[in-house]
Structure 1
Amino acid sequence: MMNAVELRLKPQPEVLERVLRVTRHRGFTVTELTMTVNEDSTLKVNFDVESERVIGLLTHQLTKLFDVLDCQVLTSSAVPVGAETPASVSA
């Protein structure tokens, strides 16, 4: 399944490395990532992940990181990775 996640992080040099390590250890693959600095100097990270696992397994672990101020799932697709959609099936 594909999921979009948004994080608000403390501006620490190693924070992105921690987030990516937790993401990998929980069995998710990052397919897209963007990061910006907010006006209050916090970091906003939006990333898309792909996995057969439930997104709650990842978000629960990310919220435990002391540099993570907020974690939200923006979108979630129920289509399993690699599954054919009806529009892509040929007769």
Structure 2
Amino acid sequence: MMHTFNLTATNQPAVVERLLRVIRHRGFALQSFELKAVDHDLQIDFTVQSTRAVNLLFNQLEKLYDVKQIKLT
């Protein structure tokens, strides 16, 4: 099943690497990824695919320190 996220994070070194690591460790395959730098933040839209429950990924991403807002669209 495909799931699309909209995420706002602080524009800090290694934020994208941490995000991608969580996606991979939770067993989701990245299908698309778009990033825009806006002021001191990053606006990230991405789509993942997996048979696993999407709340597993959502809950872990929400815990990342630099994540300010996350939405499942």
- In structure 2, the partner of 1:6 is 6
For 2:17 and 2:37, locate their aligned partners in 1 and report how far apart those are by CA, in whole Å.
16
Equivalences for 1:56-75 in 2 at 5 Å? 56-74=55-73
Unaligned runs of 5+ in 2: none
Q: Distance in 2 between matches of 1:22 and 1:59?
A: 10
Structure whose CA Rg is larger: 1
Structure 1 consecutive aligned stretches of length 4 or more whose deviation exceeds 2 Å? none
Computed over aligned residues only, the root mean square deviation of the Cα atoms, in angstroms, reads 0.7
> Which residue identity does 1:8 align to in structure 2?
T
Percent of pairs identical after alignment? Answer: 41
How far residue 13 of structure 1 moved from its aligned partner, in angstroms, is 1.3
Corresponding residue SS for 2:52: coil
Higher strand fraction: Structure 1 or Structure 2? 2
SS in 2 for 1:23: helix
Mapped partners of 1:25, 1:48: distance in 2:
16
Cα distance in 2 between the residues matched to 1:42 and 1:12: 8
Count, aligned residues: 73
Q: Could you list the runs of 5+ residues in structure 1 that have no partner in the other structure? A: 75-91
SS of equivalent to 2:5: strand
Q: TM-score, normalised by structure 1?
A: 0.78
